[in-house]
């Protein structure tokens, strides 16, 4: 159960990270008409952050030992 | 040219495949080899979240707001991070209480209240109907568009068809028939539909593939990659603004509120609850869904913006509705097969949503709305019917048909008033009203029935006033003045600028006011009203679900008497007599009884029966039904509180016991260690005693021997006598020295020694010691070198004691040096914070094994039992004690045959002794 709570806390931390990444003011930093790799910056940022969150959650879930 | 019959037959073929999967899934479930007992299938079935609203609507929303379509998918991703706590708890509670719908959940939590269950059902139905009509509209539109292939005709221009030629009507009928076949083939005690879940998971794959196919076609077929599309955007100013969000507080605010809204929706939409909670086979499946489901959302959204931008560039005149780009782009490029595949993908999205949503709603309508009414309607004489399971099934079938009919009516009436995405958000805001009652209900024992009812009513009223009625007004059913002027022309009551709150978009505005009203009423009323007995019991069961073992606890809040002969037929009337007998028999076997007759009608059995019934007709009705055949003695609130107190006391005690036992274990370990230490000390003491007596006996033996010779033989000449007496005197001196040293050591060790601490100059100490031992050196003709720098600071120590140490070290050095060739060097040096003295000799040296033992009492290099001892064996231990008393260290470094260096240091600050004494006092 302790391990399970630890996993839950790690996931909650990912949630908090996501909450910060996907909200003002961080999102405003990327809200520019610029482009990176020919892709609009904001669009690229959101999908990269999104993929990062999913990767973190997958890592937390699949590496747990209970 | 795509003929109507081609589209229709492909669609029916697809529905046929779905039904085959569902049928196979049900067969496998009956055989006990579940097809959906798999975390990946669970995650895929959760993707029922993506309806035609995603499939067609996301592109439409992206075409008007750029990345504004994303919060609806980011919210669920974030929420997935909290599922481990929240969703797991809801699943556990639902399994323990056989909860079959979200209405059942709320009603069970707040004392199995029929009123609350009905209220949730009404809100859900009113909130979801527009959403269902949205699916009908999407399928019907896409069908109409596809029918005009290769021309691209917007359905609005195709004009409203007469009722009997309206494809949406037939779609609604087909879907109703299909859902009835899927969802109500038989009545299941747990209300699970394995075959349906398998089909939904399959549909999730189909719609994903279809969307990816069109995305890849647009991105790489029509254009040449992401870079190409986005670089063309540069030249169109209108499109360029879609790449960013407006940099205003309001736009970030609505971004936030959409994220928040979708976080709640992914939990509380009836279809999500159905799939995630009710249809969950194993709660461990949730783990993989936590990352796989967000991954699905990410993948299905990658191509949304390219398709939207591509469509806007492809149809620059605005003649084509952006909601249809997914379909019209392949059509414009004459990709017949792809267009058909896209249509099937859209059909997947629609059917998946409609099937699950209507099954969930029909369960709620049947269990929480119709059954409570029918059961109260005495003139129907339902109590006398033997088998009501058929009735239950037909209520559900009618409910499904009715819900789809309502959806169709809304579709006909609402027309083209709103874009697809607007309708979806209205539904999201409606189900968000369940959040306070549910989240509060599983974490806060203080939430009460009245509080939940008040919160839901207030939230629902605000939602209706600020979102639903304005949408009616925009559709032309109400005067538009209602929005512009406010109710009765009162500006403060403008539904979309309530109390003058302007500057928010309508969804954020509704979300703010409805949540304020909902949470406010829920908390305020809950805190004001005393909960009833049942509420307290259920509240505890829900909140503490992880602390209690399933099943055994619920019965503790019930007392009364019952008859098996009455319970069994009651359950049989709703589940069918055979199924009821089978369930009771399984229960009996579980208890180690051979037949149903052996069962005792105790509270456990009553609880079991009620749970069984709850699976079929909902918790609130089940309670009423069971109460009709058993005599329940009502528990007073005090008794319930006692039971709860008892339980929490037992838990507290067991926690205390656990803690005590940990403490005891720790204490035992300490005691064992202390015991070991004592035994060791005892052994050391014995060793010490035997060594001391041995050391005492040696000189005593020779004294006695020589004394006896002198006594018995008077004829010994004087020369001999003198020699013998000299030996006796020497041995007595040795004895005295030994005894003095033993006493000295004992004093130092017990802390009773007297110390005369003063500032002393080590220079002097060394010179005095050397002078005192000079005769030893000259006797053996051993050379002595000294390196004594004059500027060494003074240290605080006992002068006589230090001389004792030096004498010991010097005499040891002499002892182990060869006569004439020996050489001893004394070095004094000041190091950082301490003064160091080295006494180096070139004698026989000390082997590594002996380097520690020589500091133990009576240990000397070589065997003291055989060889003649060269000292008492106490000098070094005493010296070490003295040096350590003043905060210094004494050690040796040596190699066998290469001489030895004894070194000691004393701290310069000179308060080592005081420090040590202080420590001893503590």
Of B514, B569, B590, the closest CA to residue B260 belongs to B514
Digit-coded pLDDT (tens) for B567-592:
887 888 777 778 788 888 888 888 77
Contact A47 B298 (CB under 8 A): yes
Integer Cα distance of B322 and B238 in angstroms: 15
Could you tell me the end-to-end alpha-carbon distance of chain B, in angstroms, rounded to an integer? 100
- Whether B869 shows a pLDDT value over 60: the answer reads no
Q: How far is A20 from chain B (nearest CA, A)?
A: 11
Whether residue B34 contacts residue B367, with contact meaning beta carbons closer than 8 Å, is answered with no
Q: How far is B88 from chain A (nearest CA, A)?
A: 10
* CATH level 3 topology of B4-374+388-419: Sodium/glucose cotransporter (1.20.1730)
State the average pLDDT over residues B679-699: 82
C-alpha separations of A65 from A4, B335, B607, B837 in Å? 9, 50, 36, 58
Q: How far is A25 from chain B (nearest CA, A)?
A: 9
Annotate B230-253 with DSSP letters as a single string: HHHHTT-HHHHGGGS---SHHHHH
- Whether B758 shows a pLDDT value over 70: the answer reads yes
Contact A54 B245 (CB under 8 A): no
Per-residue pLDDT, B206: 92
Percent of chain B with pLDDT strictly greater than 90? 8
Q: Which long-range contacts (CB under 8 A, 24 or more apart) does B374-382 make?
A: B375/B621, B375/B624, B375/B625
| Length in residues, chain A | 66
Integer Cα distance of B112 and B103 in angstroms: 10
Q: Taking CB atoms and an 8 Å cutoff, what residues of chain A touch B252?
A: 23-24, 27-28
Digit-coded pLDDT (tens) for B550-564:
444 555 566 666 777
Per-residue pLDDT, B670: 93
Contact A11 B243 (CB under 8 A): no
Q: Which CATH entry fits the domain spanning B658-744: 3.40.50.2300, 3.40.50.720, 1.10.287.130, 3.10.450.710?
A: 1.10.287.130
Q: What is the DSSP letter of B162?
A: P
Integer Cα distance of B708 and B290 in angstroms: 99
Phi then psi for residue B554, to 5 deg, are: -55, -35
Contact B81 A51 (CB under 8 A): no
Picking from B215, B243, B292 by the largest number of A CB atoms within 10 A of its own CB, the best residue to mutate is B243
Per-residue pLDDT, B863: 45
Q: In what order do the strands lie in the sheet with B900-907?
A: B783-787, B823-831, B834-841, B900-907, B889-894
Contact A42 B245 (CB under 8 A): yes
Q: How far is B421 from chain A (nearest CA, A)?
A: 20
Contact A38 B259 (CB under 8 A): no
Q: Who's near B348: CB < 8 A, 6+ residues apart? A: B14, B203, B204, B206, B207, B210
Lookup result for tokens 């379909």:
B327
Collapsing DSSP states into helix, strand and coil, what is residue B67?
helix
Task: Name the band, by pLDDT with cuts 50, 70 and 90, for residue B867.
Answer: very low
> For A11, which of B230, B244, B290 is closest by C-beta distance?
B290
Digit-coded pLDDT (tens) for B896-915:
777 888 888 888 765 544 44
C-alpha gyration radius of chain B: 47
Integer Cα distance of A56 and A54 in angstroms: 5
Lookup result for tokens 């954020």:
B508
Annotate B96-144 with DSSP letters as a single string: HHT--SHHHHHHHHTTS-HHHHHHHHHHHHHHHHHHHHHHHHHHHHHHH
State the average pLDDT over residues B620-637: 72
Question: What are the residues facing B841 on neighbouring strands?
Answer: B824
Digit-coded pLDDT (tens) for B199-211:
899 999 999 999 9
Report the number of distinct structural domains present in chain A. 1
For residue A4, the chain B residue with the least C-alpha distance is B84
* Residue of higher predicted confidence among B385 and B529: B529
Q: How far is B53 from chain A (nearest CA, A)?
A: 20
B227 touches chain A (CB under 8 A): yes
Integer Cα distance of B793 and B458 in angstroms: 86
Task: Name the band, by pLDDT with cuts 50, 70 and 90, for residue A63.
Answer: confident
C-alpha separations of B362 from B124, B359, B469, B700, B875 in Å? 11, 5, 25, 110, 98
Instruction: Encode burial over B790-812: b for 16+ CB neighbours within 10 A, e otherwise.
Output: eebeebbbbbebbbbbbbbbbbb
B35 touches chain A (CB under 8 A): no
Collapsing DSSP states into helix, strand and coil, what is residue B631?
strand
Q: Who's near B473: CB < 8 A, 6+ residues apart? A: B479, B480, B482, B483
Domain that holds residue A19: 2-62
- Whether B430 shows a pLDDT value over 70: the answer reads yes
B231 touches chain A (CB under 8 A): yes
Whether residue B382 contacts residue B375, with contact meaning beta carbons closer than 8 Å, is answered with yes
Contact B245 A58 (CB under 8 A): no
Digit-coded pLDDT (tens) for B387-414:
777 788 888 889 889 998 888 888 877 6
Contact A24 B255 (CB under 8 A): yes
B247 touches chain A (CB under 8 A): yes
Digit-coded pLDDT (tens) for B236-245:
777 777 777 7
Q: Taking CB atoms and an 8 Å cutoff, what residues of chain B touch A7?
A: 84
Q: How far is B240 from chain A (nearest CA, A)?
A: 8
Question: What are the residues facing B432 on neighbouring strands?
Answer: none
Integer Cα distance of B227 and B500 in angstroms: 45
User: The complex's ipTM?
Assistant: 0.94
Residue contacts between A and B (CB atoms, under 8 Å): 98
State the average pLDDT over residues B838-865: 72
Most confident stretch, B56-70, B656-670, B687-701 = B656-670
Q: Taking CB atoms and an 8 Å cutoff, what residues of chain B touch A40?
A: 230, 233, 243-244
- Whether B373 shows a pLDDT value over 80: the answer reads yes
Assign residue B4 a region (left: φ > 0; alpha: ψ between -120 and 50; beta: otherwise).
alpha
Of B30, B550, B37, the closest CA to residue B281 belongs to B37
Of B208, B210, B172, the closest CA to residue B327 belongs to B210
Collapsing DSSP states into helix, strand and coil, what is residue B676?
helix
Give me B634's structure tokens.
């009502």
> Interface of chain A against chain B, CB under 8 Å?
4, 7-8, 11-12, 14-15, 18-19, 22-24, 27-28, 31-33, 35, 37-40, 42-43, 46-47, 50-51, 53-54, 57-58, 61, 64
Q: What mean pLDDT, rounded, does chain B reach?
A: 81
Q: Who's near B33: CB < 8 A, 6+ residues apart? A: none
Write out the H or E segment, with its range, that includes residue B753: none
Contact B81 A15 (CB under 8 A): yes
For residue B227, the chain A residue with the least C-alpha distance is A38
Q: Taking CB atoms and an 8 Å cutoff, what residues of chain A touch B245?
A: 27, 31, 42
Contact A22 B226 (CB under 8 A): no
- Whether B919 shows a pLDDT value over 70: the answer reads no
Integer Cα distance of B294 and A52 in angstroms: 11
Of B290, B344, B562, B738, the closest CA to residue A58 belongs to B290
Collapsing DSSP states into helix, strand and coil, what is residue A35?
strand
Of B92, B119, B123, B90, the closest CA to residue B107 belongs to B119
Collapsing DSSP states into helix, strand and coil, what is residue B655?
helix
C-alpha separations of B754 from B309, B800, B885 in Å? 96, 11, 12
C-alpha separations of B742 from B682, B704, B803, B852, B858 in Å? 18, 22, 18, 20, 10
Contact A33 B295 (CB under 8 A): no
Per-residue pLDDT, B866: 43
pTM (whole model) above 0.95: no
Q: How far is A6 from chain B (nearest CA, A)?
A: 10
Picking from B287, B293, B297, B547 by the largest number of A CB atoms within 10 A of its own CB, the best residue to mutate is B287
- Whether B921 shows a pLDDT value over 80: the answer reads no
Of B220-234, B642-656, B837-851, give the lowest mean pLDDT range.
B642-656
- Whether B922 shows a pLDDT value over 60: the answer reads no
Contact A22 B78 (CB under 8 A): yes
Integer Cα distance of B284 and B83 in angstroms: 12
State the average pLDDT over residues B615-624: 77
For residue A18, the chain B residue with the least C-alpha distance is B78
Contact A54 B227 (CB under 8 A): no
Contact A24 B231 (CB under 8 A): no
Question: What are the residues facing B891 on neighbouring strands?
Answer: B903
Q: How far is A24 from chain B (nearest CA, A)?
A: 6
Collapsing DSSP states into helix, strand and coil, what is residue B402?
helix
Contact A53 B77 (CB under 8 A): yes
* Residue of higher predicted confidence among B660 and B850: B660
B86 touches chain A (CB under 8 A): no
For residue B78, the chain A residue with the least C-alpha distance is A15
Q: Taking CB atoms and an 8 Å cutoff, what residues of chain B touch A20?
A: none
Integer Cα distance of B374 and B178 in angstroms: 27
Integer Cα distance of B84 and B865 in angstroms: 74
Picking from B258, B259, B291, B549 by the largest number of A CB atoms within 10 A of its own CB, the best residue to mutate is B291
For residue A16, the chain B residue with the least C-alpha distance is B78
- Domain extents in chain B: 4-374+388-419, 433-546, 549-635, 658-744, 754-921
Digit-coded pLDDT (tens) for B707-750:
888 888 878 888 888 888 888 888 888 888 888 888 887 887 77
Question: Is 3.30.565.10 the CATH classification of the domain at B754-921?
Answer: yes
Most confident stretch, B146-155, B179-188, B346-355, B478-487 = B346-355
Integer Cα distance of B59 and B67 in angstroms: 10
- Whether B130 shows a pLDDT value over 80: the answer reads yes
For residue A36, the chain B residue with the least C-alpha distance is B227
Integer Cα distance of B437 and B110 in angstroms: 9
Q: Taking CB atoms and an 8 Å cutoff, what residues of chain A touch B80?
A: 57
> For A57, which of B74, B80, B259 is closest by C-beta distance?
B80
Digit-coded pLDDT (tens) for B58-76:
888 888 888 888 888 999 9
Integer Cα distance of B421 and B58 in angstroms: 8
B12 touches chain A (CB under 8 A): no
Of B16, B349, B318, B76, the closest CA to residue B214 belongs to B349
Contact B85 A8 (CB under 8 A): yes
- Whether B773 shows a pLDDT value over 90: the answer reads no
C-alpha separations of B759 from B146, B768, B799, B818, B836 in Å? 108, 16, 9, 37, 16
Contact A15 B74 (CB under 8 A): no
Beta strands B783-787 and B823-831: pairing type? parallel
């Amino acid at each position: 159960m302790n391990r399970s709570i630890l996993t839950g806390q790690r996931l909650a931390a990912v949630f908090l990270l996501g909450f910060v990444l996907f909200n003002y003011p961080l999102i405003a930093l990327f809200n520019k008409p610029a482009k990176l790799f020919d892709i609009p910056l904001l669009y690229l940022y959101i999908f990269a952050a999104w993929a990062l969150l999913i990767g973190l959650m997958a890592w937390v879930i699949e590496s747990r030992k209970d | 040219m795509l003929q109507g019959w081609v589209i229709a037959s492909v669609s029916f073929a697809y529905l046929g495949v779905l039904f085959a999967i569902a049928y196979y899934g049900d067969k496998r479930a009956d055989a006990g080899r579940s097809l959906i007992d798999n975390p990946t299938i669970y995650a895929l079935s959760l993707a029922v979240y993506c309806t035609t609203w995603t499939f067609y609507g996301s592109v439409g929303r992206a075409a008007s707001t750029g990345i504004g379509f994303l919060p609806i998918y980011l919210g669920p991703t974030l929420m997935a991070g909290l599922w481990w706590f929240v969703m797991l708890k809801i699943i556990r509670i639902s399994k323990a209480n056989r909860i079959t719908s979200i209405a059942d959940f709320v009603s069970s939590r707040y004392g199995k209240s029929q009123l609350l269950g009905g209220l949730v059902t009404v809100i859900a139905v009113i909130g979801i109907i527009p959403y269902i009509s949205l699916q009908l509209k999407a399928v019907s539109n896409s069908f109409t568009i596809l029918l005009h292939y290769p021309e691209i005709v917007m359905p609005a221009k195709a004009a409203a068809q007469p009722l009997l030629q309206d494809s949406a009507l037939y779609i609604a009928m087909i879907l109703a028939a299909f859902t009835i076949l899927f969802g109500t083939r038989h009545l299941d005690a747990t209300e699970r539909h394995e075959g349906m879940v398998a089909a939904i998971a399959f549909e999730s794959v189909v719609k994903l593939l279809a969307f990816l196919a069109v995305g890849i076609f647009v991105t790489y077929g029509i254009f040449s990659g992401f870079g190409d599309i986005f670089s063309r955007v540069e030249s169109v100013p209108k499109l360029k603004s879609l790449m960013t969000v407006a940099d205003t507080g309001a736009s970030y605010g609505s971004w936030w509120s959409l994220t928040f809204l979708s976080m709640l929706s992914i939990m509380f939409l009836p279809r999500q609850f159905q799939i995630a909670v009710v249809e969950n086979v194993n709660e461990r499946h949730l783990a993989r869904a936590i990352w796989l489901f967000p991954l699905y959302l990410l993948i299905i959204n990658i191509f949304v913006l390219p398709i939207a931008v591509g469509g806007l560039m492809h149809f620059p005149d605005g003649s084509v509705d952006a909601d249809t780009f997914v379909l019209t782009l392949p059509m414009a490029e004459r990709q017949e097969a792809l267009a058909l595949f896209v249509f099937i993908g859209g059909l997947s999205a629609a059917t998946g949503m409609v099937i699950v949503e209507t099954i969930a709603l029909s369960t709620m309508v049947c269990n929480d709305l119709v059954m409570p009414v029918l059961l109260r309607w005495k003139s129907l004489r339902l109590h006398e019917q033997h088998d009501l399971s058929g009735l239950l099934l037909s209520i559900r079938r009618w409910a499904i048909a009715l819900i789809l009919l309502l959806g169709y009516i809304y579709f006909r009436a609402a027309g083209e008033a709103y874009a697809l995405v607007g309708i979806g958000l209205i539904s999201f805001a409606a189900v968000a009203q369940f959040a306070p009652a549910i989240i509060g209900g599983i974490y806060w024992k203080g939430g009460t029935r009245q509080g939940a009812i008040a919160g839901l009513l207030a939230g629902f009223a605000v939602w209706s006033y600020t979102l639903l009625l304005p949408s009616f007004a925009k559709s032309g059913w109400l005067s538009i003045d209602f929005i512009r002027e406010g109710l009765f022309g009162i500006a403060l009551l403008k539904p979309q600028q309530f109390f003058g709150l302007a500057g928010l978009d309508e969804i954020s505005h509704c979300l703010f006011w409805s949540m304020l009203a909902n949470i406010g009423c829920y908390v305020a009323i809950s805190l004001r009203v005393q909960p009833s007995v049942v509420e307290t019991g259920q509240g505890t069961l829900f909140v503490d679900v992880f602390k209690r073992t399933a099943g055994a606890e619920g019965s503790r809040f019930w007392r009364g008497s019952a008859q098996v002969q009455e319970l069994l037929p009651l359950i049989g009337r709703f589940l069918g007599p055979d199924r009821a007998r089978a369930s009771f028999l399984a229960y009996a076997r579980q208890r180690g009884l051979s037949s149903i007759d052996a069962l005792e009608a105790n509270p456990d059995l009553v609880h079991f029966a009620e749970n069984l019934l709850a699976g079929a007709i909902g918790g609130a009705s089940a309670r009423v039904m069971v109460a009709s055949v058993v005599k329940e003695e009502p528990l007073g609130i005090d008794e319930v509180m006692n039971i709860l107190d008892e339980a929490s006391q037992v838990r507290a005690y067991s926690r205390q016991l656990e803690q005590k036992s940990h403490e005891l274990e720790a204490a035992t370990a300490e005691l064992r260690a202390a015991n070991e230490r004592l035994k060791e000390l005892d052994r050391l003491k014995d060793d010490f005693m035997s060594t001391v007596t041995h050391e005492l006996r040696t000189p005593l033996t020779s004294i006695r021997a020589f004394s006896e010779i002198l006594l018995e033989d008077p004829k010994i000449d004087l020369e001999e006598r003198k020699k013998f007496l000299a030996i006796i005197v020497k041995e007595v001196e040795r004895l005295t020295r030994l005894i003095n040293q033993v006493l000295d050591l004992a004093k130092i060790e017990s802390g009773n020694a007297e110390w005369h601490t003063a500032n002393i100059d080590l220079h002097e100490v060394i010179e005095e010691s050397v002078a005192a031992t000079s005769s030893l050196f000259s006797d053996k003709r051993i050379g002595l070198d000294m390196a004594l720098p004059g500027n060494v600071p003074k240290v605080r120590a006992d002068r006589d004691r230090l001389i004792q140490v030096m004498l010991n070290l010097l005499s040891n050095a002499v002892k182990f040096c060869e006569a004439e060739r020996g050489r001893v060097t004394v070095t004094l040096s000041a190091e950082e914070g301490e003064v160091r003295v080295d006494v180096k000799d070139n004698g026989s040296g000390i082997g590594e094994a002996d380097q520690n033992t020589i500091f133990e009492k009576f240990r000397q290099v070589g065997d003291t039992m055989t060889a003649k001892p060269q000292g008492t064996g106490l000098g070094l231990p005493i010296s070490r004690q003295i040096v350590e008393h003043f905060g210094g260290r004494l050690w040796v470094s040596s190699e066998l045959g290469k001489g030895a260096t004894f070194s000691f240091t004393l701290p310069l600050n000179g308060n080592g002794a005081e420090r040590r004494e202080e420590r001893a006092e503590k």
